[in-house]
Amino acid sequence: MSKNLLIVESPAKARTIQKYLGPDFSIMASVGHVKDLPVNKIGVDIDNDFQPEYVTIKGKEKVLKELKAAAKKADKVYLAPDPDREGEAIAWHIAQEIGKDKEEIYRVLFNEITAKAVREAVESPQKLDKNRFESQQARRILDRLVGYQISPLLWQRVKQRLSAGRVQSVAVKMICEREKEIFAFRPQEYWTINAHLEAKEPPPFEAKLLQYKDKKPEITNETQAKKIVSEIRGLDPEVIKVVRRKKKKNPLPPFTTSLLQQDAFKKLRFSPKKTMAIAQGLYEGVTIGDMGQTGLITYMRTDSFRISTDALNRTRDYIANTYGKDYLPEKPNYFKAKKGAQDAHEAIRPTSVDLEPDKISRFLTKDQFLLYSLIWKRLVASQMSPAILDHTQVDIKAGNAMFRASGSVMIFKGFTVLYGDIPADEKEKDRKEGLLPLLKKGQILKLKKLDPVQHFTQPPPRYTAASLIKALEESGIGRPSTYAAILANISNREYITTEKRHFRPTELGFLITDILDANFPDILDIKFTAHMETELDKVEQGIRTGTAVLKKFYTSFKKEIDRAEKDMKGEVPTNISCPECKRPMVIKSGKNGLFLACTGYPECKSTSNFTRDENGNIILEKPPEVPEEHGTCDKCGRPMIVKNGRFGSFLACSGYPDCKNTMSIDAGSDSPANTNVPCPEDGCTGTIVKKRSKKGRIFYACNRYPDCHFAMWDEPFKGECPDCGTKVLAIKQRKTGPVIMCRKKGCGYTMPLDQKE
């Protein structure tokens, strides 16, 4: 029996480490957390300094039993879960369970799973980090207090199965606020004027109007644009200034967690959750030919740009040997960390720069290869020389108008030879630049054409996964280890939908956000949430205690809870007047979705479905006329009326609540029923309709058949897979209830239907 026991989180990580430590060590995996707060109650003793009540996670009893048995036989126990707060909590709980003397339990931390890093960590073990554990525990308790005390209020006042989260709710609020900005936006017309010019030597080029009568032009309509054009037409433009200079484009820093998630989303279309899952596998180890199980990247949860001296030197050697000395800066490139960065771990980088992506591609899945290539190239490029451009800027005068033309020629590719990218804030500008002829001051040019162009200002864009992560990070919301979970949570809730990879709030998202904002202003306040993140960081640094942070938070939170229990309403007021009694109407939630209800209830029972116009204004929706063939209820004989629910229109008995009979709006009809789900085929403008085959089997197909042959057996669901981007999901029936699944073979995305809009 091995004298030493080393416990990690995952079996894959265990296999990699076993190769490095040999027979003197027995390597076992906890398979993630082994203990947590109970699911069926709050599990926190608020009156006793917020003491948590930990229980063994369901299904982990056998794992814990095996770990205890192995620990009894071992002389020393090394706890090696991931080097972060969650990993520290796992190590702490395992240490409590195995019950060995503290002198026989060691904590080891690997930033990368390589032979050198693992052996050095085992040879220099540390003690368990109480501050880091307390920080994780305080965060867990904080989230439990918020979730388990606000969510029941939502169940009582709004509808069942809703949830609120300390960070998740703030992220949804940000999405809702962006949508309100779009609603409030009013496009403004403006015009630009481009001059098409020629010199004696080619090529012809364009210049943009920079000034008019020594001021920045503010051209708001066609009349103004034409007036300026008429003044300039026929004049001989003169070059009055030429500035030539070398322009540097510096390389981008190596990846932090948030930058990796943003770049993988933009370039590979990976969701943050998918990116982190693939990165976890690359970190824990992949079987690489004769090398066996090999960790390919460093730890993937970090906010640091720091690179170890050894990795830096090896990367510089690689650049010099592969690209030559011109591509290697005289000194290493260092990047300034953002304010508040923890710098506990290195940046995300390959464990060995010599493991080039193309050399090991046959051992990786397609997605592993794509992500590893991105990480490998980003590290190497970060230590390369800047790209150098020969930049020319020319000012040209014609009467009262001043035009400017810019052009750049790449004279040294630098880091772009590998990464093929330049900083985003410069990219769009440079794309508009073109080649210029050789020009000199005083030169007269030929004006070929003046081109006035109409534009309209654009509203702020909706958030994507990448831009929301960036916004969360800039606001101090969440930490590198939490971004993927935050986005996965809000994507799987019915508070938002995803349209063309952009987040858009649902009506329920607006309703819940408005209710929470009115009743829990601190919880929904971005600055307050960011402050709590800083307080939790201070616990990890040993500056504050977890109990002190929790007590201060709960003092104000308890007041909000008590007030909400008395005053919180599950409705949001509107400026719509009841069509029957003229009293105000409110937005409420029912079992079939949101609706408008009169505040005069029960005297006035007027209700209505509603929509919003492009400006966000609420519009009363007139119920569609009921087809004659659906006229009477087959149970009570009263008229059947059309109602709108979360899954579309349906027929319901007008005798509700005495008679609760409902049926499909196309029941008994042979004509195709429109699902209102757009056809996912590229370029197709059709919608999916419900049809019946010759054998009587229901299927769904595009209404533009035979021009479009799209068809599916399962009921379609309007939306986009958050993991792979496939348009239109499928609704399938399971024993536990209906679920939404991705149609793409091998994707595996699934979610209970009652968690989706």
Cα gap 738→719, rounded to integer Å? 16
Angle between helices 257-268 and 366-382 (to 10 degrees): 120
- Compute CA 613 distance to the chain's CA centroid, rounded to the nearest angstrom: 27
Assign 356 to helix, strand or coil. coil
Alpha-carbon gap, residue 138 to 158, rounded angstroms: 29
Do 612 and 572 form a contact (C-beta atoms < 8 A)?
A: no
* Rounded (10°) angle between helices 483-492 and 257-268: 50
Give the span between the Cα atoms of 639 and 661, in whole angstroms.
11
Dump the DSSP string for 168-232.
HHHHHHHHHHHHHHHHH----EEEEEEEEEE-SSSPPEEEEEEEETTB-----SHHHHHHHHHHH
Q: Do the Cβ atoms of 119 and 19 come closer than 8 Å?
A: no
For residue 456, count other CB atoms closer than 10 A to its CB.
Answer: 9
27 phi/psi in degrees, rounded to 5 = -105, 125
Cis-peptide into 678, omega within 30 deg: no
CB-based contact 5:74 (threshold 8 Å): yes
> What residues contact residue 200 under an 8 Å CB cut-off, 6+ apart?
437
Distance CA 711, CA 691 (A): 10
- Tell me which residue of 285, 233, 278 sits closest to 260, measured CA to CA: 278
- Residue in this structure with the two tokens 């904590």, named with its chain if needed: 107
Pairing of strands 76-79, 387-398: unpaired
What tokens appear for 510 in the block? 């607006």
CA geometry: angle at 150 spanning 146 and 154, to 5°? Answer: 150
- Identify how many contiguous H helices and E strands the chain contains and give both numbers: 19, 35
Q: Is 684 exposed, middle or buried (0-12, 13-18, 19+ CB in 10 A)?
A: middle
As a whole number of angstroms, the distance between CA 89 and CA 34 comes to 10
- The answer to whether 78 is a known catalytic residue is no
- Report how far residue 567's alpha carbon sits from residue 563's, in angstroms, rounded to the nearest whole number: 6
Cα–Cα nearest to 96, from 34, 150, 177, 32: 34
Helix (H) or strand (E) holding 28: strand 25-29
DSSP E strand boundaries for 40-97? 44-45, 51-52, 55-56, 76-79
Distance between start and end Cα atoms, the chain: 55
Answer whether 717's CB lies under 8 Å from 729's CB. Answer: yes
Cα–Cα distance measured from residue 332 to residue 315, given in angstroms and rounded to the nearest whole number: 10
Which residue in 20, 78, 283, 299 is the catalytic one?
Answer: 299
List of residues 6+ apart from 55 with CB closer than 8 A: 35, 36, 37, 38, 43
Distance of alpha carbon 643 from alpha carbon 550, whole angstroms: 47
What is the 3-class SS of 261-282, one letter each residue? HHHHHHHHCCCHHHHHHHHHHH
Closest to 513 measured CA to CA, from 501, 500, 526: 526
Say whether 99 sits in a helix, a strand or coil. Answer: coil
Beta strand 35-36 with 55-56: parallel, antiparallel or unpaired? antiparallel
Give the residue numbers annotated as catalytic, written as ranges: 299
